[in-house]
Chains A and B, each alone.
Chain A
Amino acid sequence: MRIVLGFASGLVFGLGLVVSGMADPAKVLNFLDLAGSWDPSLAFVMAGAVVVTFVGYRLAFARKAPLLMESFDVPRAKDIDLRLVGGAAMFGIGWGIGGFCPGPALTALPLLAPGTHVFVPAMLIGIWAGVRAREAFALSRIQKGA
């Protein structure tokens, strides 16, 4: 059941990325190009996704627990720190160069573009390094007593 639902959610998410145009880096880069070939389509992706999720989450959180797990496990961090802003800034620069964020890059793998096949392994190395950097950052805060 978990595997079937996991696969189905991934498939629907991926279809959303393909149908919306998010899986096409040209469309993403044109969205980010306010001063040139601006294509505002991706604002509609964001609007559709956020509204549906906002309403659906309210229905989900009306339950005591999710259907297949014992409890909801949502991020609880509250602090707005250098890690959050610095990480988001690096992500934004990489997004602006390649036109891929993580989901579309994975979904685009079977479309066999050479750029995607360089981007995704580099991204996985980046994730590995970033998780380690995040742990080091958390450790240094504990040692400082922050």
Chain B
Amino acid sequence: MPLAETNFTPLASLLGGVLIGLSSVVLMLFFGRIAGIIGIAARALQAVAVPAQDWYWRIAFILGLLAAPMAAALVTGDPVEQTVSGNLPAMAVAGLLVGFGTALGSGCTSGHGVCGLARLSPRSLIAVLTFMAFGFATVFVVRHVIGGIA
């Protein structure tokens, strides 16, 4: 059972990908850092405990992420469409796995997926193939073996 039907949107998705790429390039050109969300979030978290010299731009980056849905709604005039599972225990488990796994494996969809692949890093390629394979397998099990978690 799908959570909700979604339409195939190649152009919007390509445009969104280009914006993500532009942001990653700006971070490298100006800050010399990869745009890995998990790395930025982990360092921002650490800075709360131990203030580090260059944490302000990371907090500002996260504030920019948070402002994006409102900015998108202002530009397009439509609220952002989204369907999130209401199975809260499942979402808690998912959040723990995503946080722990990306911190342990040093990267997520952005750090390994976008920046790592763009740097032709073999480590990132292995990470991407692994999390894609487990993502496909998990959705197969959840939807087609146990019949969905709503």
Contacts and interface: CB of A to CB of B under 8 A. Distances in A.
Nearest to A92: B134
Query: Which bracket fits the contact residues of B?
Result: 35 or more
B52 interface: no
Contact of B106 (A4, A16, A35, A84): A84
B24 A29 contact: no
Given A9-B64, A22-B16, A53 B24 contact: yes
A69 B31 contact: yes
A111 B119 CA distance: 33
B19 A16 contact: yes
A76 B29 CA distance: 18
Interface in A10-50: 10-27, 29-30, 32-37, 39-42, 44-50
Instruction: Identify whether the interface residues of A are mostly helix, strand, loop, or mixed.
Output: helix
Interface in B90-123: 90-110, 112-119, 121-123
A52 interface: yes
Interface string B71-101: 1100000001111111110111111111111
Contacts of B93: 94, 97, 122
A142 interface: no
Contacts, number: 510
Contacts of B80: 18, 23, 111
A13 B19 contact: yes
A59 interface: yes
The interface centre, meaning the residue of A22, A61, A119 with most chain B CB atoms within 10 A of its CB, is: A119
B70 A19 contact: no
A95 B20 CA distance: 19
B116 to A, nearest CB: 8
A80 B149 CA distance: 33
A107 to B, nearest CB: 5
A146 interface: no
Contact of A80 (B12, B99, B126, B137): B126
B72 A9 contact: no
Contacts of A84: 105-106, 123, 126-127
B47 interface: no
Nearest to B126: A80
Interface of A: 2-27, 29-30, 32-37, 39-42, 44-54, 56-57, 59-61, 63, 65-69, 71-75, 77-80, 83-103, 105-111, 113-116, 118-131, 133-134, 137
Interface of B: 2-35, 37-38, 41-42, 45-46, 54, 56-72, 80-88, 90-110, 112-119, 121-123, 126-128, 130-140, 142-144, 149
11 contacts: A15-B16, A16-B19, A16-B21, A19-B15, A42-B13, A53-B118, A80-B126, A96-B136, A115-B85, A121-B95, A127-B41
